[in-house]
Amino acid sequence: MKQIRIGLVGAGVVGSGLLQLLEKNKHIVQNRNNLDIQLTAVATRTPKRAQPLTSLPITSDVLSVTKRSDVDIVVELIGGTTTAYDVVLSALKNKKSVITANKALLSEKGEELFRIAKENGVELGYEAAVAGSIPIIRTLRDGLASCEFEVICGILNGTTNFILSQMESENWDYSTALKKAQELGFAEADPTFDVEGIDAAHKISLLSSLAFQEKVSFSDLQVEGISKLQSVDISASKNLGYRIKLLGISKRSSAGILTKVHPTLVPLNHPLANVMKESNAVFYKTVEAGTGMITGKGAGGLPTASAVLSDLIYYSSRFGVAGSIPENNIFPKSKKSPEKENEARYYLRFSTLDKPGVLAEIAAILGKNGISIASVQQKESEKEPVNVIVVTHSAKEGNFETSISEIDQMSSIIKEKTVAIRLLENL
């Protein structure tokens, strides 16, 4: 039986989950994979959480683990892009393979780290970095390796999906749903990273790079979050036959690859619409295999730790095998498709004064910019401003940008900034 020695750096929620699984599933791993994975070192800034789960001495010197002769693979679970970068870099330079769940680090520093891993003949596994327990990285790399991708998109953040689900099912406003997510531990005290789409953007940049075999940079992405959505948007979308989801979307066209994160109206009959609460899902479309979707728990200690352990098993099996070639994760820079030329349909909510001629003025600006209206909703209200909801036909993104800018400057009738949400189509 092959024995692999691992050093764990970080014993927070996911790290503690991994410690539990290493003990609980030890015999399953041995019997199924003929592997004996031995924990030989633990470093963490939260020793109290780890102490009940291991009899090993626990150090706060995280870099010491990367230099130990009794460690074959380093597991980095501290997060962030500063100390975590130092840990991963040190481990790779000391010729130790690394397993990480750190999407931010790989999205921003991955090209450098994968190059250093290759130079040192070791590997960098990141199955747990995207979509929690969903085995999407090796699905793209192995199961769909022969396919040409047209689209990859998904619900990649459990916090925002939970908030949107609660806004719909409980008829809550955004702030109430966010507070509940924080109480349950799904959202941080400062939720910006999740609710403004940054977390999902890191993840879709990794997925798109792997799917299209071209480097999609996080810095190139257009990113919008959910903090400006109101309960009226949730209910109006449902009445129109849609459900709002925060999606990371990447698609190829003749002009290049367009990758972005934004709230999206998903038709109720699309499989992504029925992924609720903290679950995640990845949807893809390829030339050869058509469409498919994988869904599962996208957050939480044990679900994410299960993906870390899956990587440990995979890379431990490859460890020391003669002729084993490190996987290629270094891709040429992608050609970015121009956002303004992309065609889309929109849900637009205008907050206006309730007086004759308002809709005509809005329609005139949309029409001047080549945007036609498919439907209009306006409920009677005794209070101003009133919500005028317009669903458009397809037009260029640049035309919408121009129109909304012009409409929002009409201070005599427009009282709040326009809410604009794209419709999911052609996937």
Report the C-alpha gap between 339 and 42 in whole angstroms.
Answer: 46
Nearest Cα neighbor of 85 from 104, 65, 58, 59 is 104
Q: Kindly state the helix (H) or strand (E) to which residue 88 belongs, with its residue range.
A: helix 83-93
Query: Residue 298 has what pLDDT?
Result: 79
398 is in an annotated binding site: no
Q: Does 322 have pLDDT greater than 80?
A: no
16 is in an annotated binding site: yes
Looking from the CA of 377 toward its CB, the CA atoms found within 13 Å total 16
Tokens of 149: 């991708």
pLDDT tens track for 386-413: 999 999 999 999 999 999 999 999 998 9
Query: Residue 332 has what pLDDT?
Result: 79
188 is in an annotated binding site: yes
Report the C-alpha gap between 397 and 258 in whole angstroms.
Answer: 12
Query: Residue 382 has what pLDDT?
Result: 64
Q: What is the 3-state secondary structure (H, E, C) of 181-227?
A: HHHCCCCCCCCHHHHCCHHHHHHHHHHHHHHHCCECCHHHCEECCCC
Q: Which amino acid appears at position 142 of this protein?
A: D
Q: Does 381 have pLDDT greater than 80?
A: no
298 is in an annotated binding site: no
Query: Residue 113 has what pLDDT?
Result: 96
- What domains are defined for the chain? 2-132+301-318 (3.40.50.720), 136-297 (3.30.360.10), 342-423 (3.30.70.260)
Q: Kindly state the helix (H) or strand (E) to which residue 154 belongs, with its residue range.
A: strand 149-155
Query: Residue 365 has what pLDDT?
Result: 97
Active site residue 180: no
Q: Are strands 256-267 and 242-253 parallel, antiparallel or unpaired?
A: antiparallel
Averaged over 158-176, what is the pLDDT?
96
Least confident range from 83-97, 112-126, 237-251, 318-332: namely 318-332
Nearest Cα neighbor of 201 from 186, 216, 185 is 216
Contact 250, 342 (CB under 8 A): no
91 is in an annotated binding site: no
Phi–psi pair at 224, nearest 5 degrees: -130, 140
Nearest Cα neighbor of 70 from 85, 83, 89, 57 is 57
pLDDT tens track for 124-151: 999 999 988 899 999 999 899 999 999 9
Could you say which of 2, 67, 179, 203 is catalytic?
Answer: 203
Place of tokens 């326009």: 418
358 is in an annotated binding site: no
103 is in an annotated binding site: yes
241 is in an annotated binding site: no
Query: Residue 354 has what pLDDT?
Result: 86
Beta bridge partners of 419: 349
Q: How many residues does the chain have?
A: 427
In this predicted model, which residue has the larger pLDDT, 420 or 256? 420
11 is in an annotated binding site: yes
pLDDT tens track for 274-318: 999 999 999 999 999 999 999 998 777 888 999 999 999 999 998
Query: Residue 48 has what pLDDT?
Result: 81
pTM of the model: 0.92
Give the distance from CA 356 to its chain's centroid. Answer: 44
First to last CA, the chain: 46
Query: Residue 427 has what pLDDT?
Result: 65
- pLDDT band at 51, cuts 50/70/90? confident
How open is the CA angle 314-15-100, to the nearest 5 degrees?
45
Query: Residue 323 has what pLDDT?
Result: 56
208 is in an annotated binding site: no
